[in-house]
């Protein structure tokens, strides 16, 4: 038997023994009428941070705190313990003289991981550590499973994602990441609400998956006896609201795409999509810059950040370059001088770009060459605009360049963060583009759009000139918390069940 298998078996035996001992302690407490799980409520007056931040005011005064025992040092008739709550840890001094013999004996039986409440006065120890001198200790919940001793050092990060609750207990920096995530979303809401945007909610279950090129999840509605799709974007419903007379709308919500998983992709993720009547691509660029830079300032205290070892400056204005010009900068190839599909195919082969066999038009090839050669080179924030019409079925064309659309994507650190259009509001053009998407789908492109006649009908009532933008919240959080994987910023990422 290999050494690591032996070690795993020994660890499992030790764990089973420790769990048995803890259950025996619980049974004894229950027999004595001291079942901690029967406690319904505990009135704490301060958390750990408040005790430390307000020491001068609280010194010598009684406080009531509560949290999980993370460390305990027994020294005969007096002991120290550290308890942890949402805001951090605080030390408590516990002695037989204050608690009495019976209560102190029970305290010594408490385990690391147990949740307790402490009432006592605030003081400083000889080492100047702010502490609570316990007068009363109450067991509020018994931990029946011991905490791992070296959770942060586990090589199997898979376990951290599966048992996020343990990850949060053991690693304060993980908790901080998710607090920052909430702060980022709150800041985005503040910016948009102050600009007069209306936050709305649109359906997650769709009869047609639209608004993006992506493979959907399919489910079945029993009462209606129809297949339905989890939404792949919020775009088409939000633009219906612009038709209906709302000038500025946004939605922050979960999106579902039945595609691959890697450090940048999870099957369900969070986006914000926003739409504003009477503005365009330029207006969306300005707003996107403001959102990214303001969120950076809010959670990082600066717009100059480091992401995975690379220094990035998020201070506006961001660089703006067309897709074709950026290809020329990196490869020397100027697609403005290449007018046919055959020429484009020849150039792609010379650049050793592997092409999708069902996407071989000039526009498709431009997009694929860009993906292969340019994306990873864009470290500081860059708006890439003028996208081929083939992969932008919902964006307006340029009047003088009908093969290109008024679309941009924002790239930072070699990754896409936002996607925006001067929105297509011509129902005739939209219908024709949907038809081409249907043809592509029938040719084997499972990510192509379906025909959405209700959306075409909505456009026929008239939609004003509109700018729209979608941004991946998870990726923005990754950037501003220096997180390597999307799983680090999702509380409960999608995982394959064990066994």
Torsion of Cα atoms, 421 then 422 then 427 then 429, to 10°? -80
Could you tell me what percent of the chain has a pLDDT over 70? 96
Give the mean model confidence (pLDDT) for residues 192-197.
Answer: 98
User: How many Cβ atoms from other residues are within 10 Å of residue 495's Cβ?
Assistant: 11
- Would you state the pLDDT for residue 303? 98
In sequence order, what are the residues at sequence separation of 6 or more whose Cβ sits closer than 8 angstroms to the Cβ of residue 237?
Answer: 202, 203
- Would you state the pLDDT for residue 498? 85
Could you tell me what percent of the chain has a pLDDT over 90? 88
pLDDT tens digits along 353-410: 999 999 999 999 999 999 999 999 999 999 999 999 998 888 999 999 999 999 999 9
- Would you state the pLDDT for residue 1? 39
- Would you state the pLDDT for residue 444? 87
CATH of the domain spanning 170-318+380-488: 3.30.930.10
- Would you state the pLDDT for residue 156? 65
For the chain, the first-to-last Cα distance in angstroms comes to 22
Number of Cα atoms under 13 Å in the Cβ half of residue 312: 28
pLDDT higher than 80, residue 153:
no
- Would you state the pLDDT for residue 35? 97
- Note whether 137 and 83 are within 8 A (CB): no
Give the mean model confidence (pLDDT) for residues 192-196.
Answer: 98
Q: How far apart are CA 253 and CA 271, in angstroms?
A: 6
Q: Give, in degrees to the nearest 5, the angle at Cα 387 between 191 and 455.
A: 70
pLDDT higher than 90, residue 4:
no
Asked if domains 3-141 and 170-318+380-488 share a fold, the reply is no
Range from 134-138, 221-225, 259-263, 466-470 carrying the lowest mean pLDDT: 259-263
- Note whether 94 and 110 are within 8 A (CB): no
- Would you state the pLDDT for residue 14? 81
Give the mean model confidence (pLDDT) for residues 414-420.
Answer: 96
Q: How far apart are CA 52 and CA 59, in angstroms?
A: 10
- Alpha carbon 283 to its chain centroid, in Å, reads 26
Range from 42-56, 146-160, 450-464 carrying the lowest mean pLDDT: 146-160
Q: How far apart are CA 383 and CA 24, in angstroms?
A: 62
Q: How far apart are CA 323 and CA 33, in angstroms?
A: 73
Q: What is the sign of the dihedral through the CA atoms of 28, 32, 34 and 38?
A: positive
Range from 8-12, 50-54, 66-70, 224-228 carrying the lowest mean pLDDT: 8-12
499 vs 19, residue with greater confidence: 19
Fold of 3-141: OB fold (Dihydrolipoamide Acetyltransferase, E2P) (2.40.50)
Q: Between 473-481 and 281-300, two packed helices, what is the crossing angle to 10 degrees? A: 40
- Would you state the pLDDT for residue 212? 86
- Would you state the pLDDT for residue 3? 42
pLDDT tens digits along 62-108: 999 999 999 999 988 999 999 999 999 999 999 999 999 999 999 99
450 vs 2, residue with greater confidence: 450
Token reading at 236: 């088409």
Q: How far apart are CA 350 and CA 335, in angstroms?
A: 14
Give the mean model confidence (pLDDT) for residues 312-316.
Answer: 97
Q: What is the DSSP letter of 184?
A: H
Q: Provide the residue ranges of all domains of the chain, joining segments of one domain with +.
A: 3-141, 170-318+380-488
Q: How far apart are CA 231 and CA 206, in angstroms?
A: 6
In sequence order, what are the residues at sequence separation of 6 or more whose Cβ sits closer than 8 angstroms to the Cβ of residue 488?
Answer: 174, 177, 478, 481
pLDDT higher than 80, residue 352:
yes
Average pLDDT, the chain: 94
Which among 219, 246, 249 has a CA at the least distance from the CA of 235?
A: 249
**pLDDT confidence band for 152 (50 / 70 / 90):** very low
- Would you state the pLDDT for residue 150? 56
- Would you state the pLDDT for residue 154? 46
């Amino acid at each position: 038997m290999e050494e690591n298998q032996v070690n795993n078996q020994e660890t499992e035996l030790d764990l089973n023994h420790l769990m048995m001992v803890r259950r025996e302690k619980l049974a004894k407490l229950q027999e004595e009428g001291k079942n901690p799980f029967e406690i319904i409520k505990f009135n704490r007056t301060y958390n750990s941070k408040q005790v430390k931040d307000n020491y001068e005011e609280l010194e010598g005064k009684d406080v009531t705190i509560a949290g999980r025992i993370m460390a305990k040092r027994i020294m005969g008739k007096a002991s120290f313990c550290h308890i942890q709550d949402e805001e951090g840890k605080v030390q408590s001094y516990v002695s037989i003289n204050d608690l009495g013999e019976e209560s102190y004996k029970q305290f010594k039986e408490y385990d690391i991981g147990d949740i307790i409440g402490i009432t006592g006065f605030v003081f400083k120890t000889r080492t100047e550590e702010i502490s609570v001198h316990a007068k009363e200790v109450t067991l509020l919940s018994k931990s029946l499973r011991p905490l791992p001793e070296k959770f942060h050092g586990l090589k199997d990060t898979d376990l951290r994602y599966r048992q996020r609750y343990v990850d949060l207990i053991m690693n304060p920096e993980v908790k901080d990441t998710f607090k920052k995530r909430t702060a980022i979303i709150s800041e985005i809401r503040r910016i948009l609400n102050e600009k007069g945007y209306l936050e709305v909610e649109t359906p997650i279950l769709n009869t047609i998956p639209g608004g993006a090129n992506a493979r959907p999840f399919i489910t079945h509605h029993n009462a209606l006896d129809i297949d339905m799709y989890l939404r792949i974007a919020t775009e088409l419903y939000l633009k219906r609201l612009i038709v209906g007379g709302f000038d500025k709308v946004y939605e922050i919500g979960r999106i579902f795409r039945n595609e691959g998983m890697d450090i940048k992709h999870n099957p369900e993720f969070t986006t914000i999509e926003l739409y504003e009547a009477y503005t365009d691509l330029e207006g969306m660029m300005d707003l996107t810059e403001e959102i990214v830079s303001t969120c950076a300032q809010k959670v990082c205290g600066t717009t100059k950040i480091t992401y995975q070892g690379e220094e990035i400056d998020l201070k506006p204005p961001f660089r703006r370059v067309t897709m074709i010009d950026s290809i020329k900068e990196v490869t020397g190839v100027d697609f403005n001088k290449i007018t046919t599909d055959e020429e484009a195919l020849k150039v792609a082969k010379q650049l050793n770009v592997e092409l999708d066999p069902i996407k071989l038009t000039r526009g498709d090839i431009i997009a694929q060459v860009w993906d292969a050669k340019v994306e990873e080179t864009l470290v500081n924030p860059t708006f890439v605009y003028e996208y081929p019409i083939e992969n932008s079925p919902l964006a307006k064309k340029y009047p003088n360049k009908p093969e290109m659309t008024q679309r941009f994507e924002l790239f930072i650190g070699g990754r896409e963060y936002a996607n925006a259009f001067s929105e297509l509001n011509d129902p005739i053009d939209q219908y024709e583009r949907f038809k081409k998407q249907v043809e592509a789908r029938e040719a084997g492109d499972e990510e192509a759009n379906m025909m959405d006649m209700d959306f075409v009908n909505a456009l026929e009532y008239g939609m004003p000139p509109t700018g729209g933008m979608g941004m991946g919240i998870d990726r923005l959080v990754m950037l501003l918390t220096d997180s390597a994987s999307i799983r680090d910023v999702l509380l409960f990422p999608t995982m394959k069940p064990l066994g």
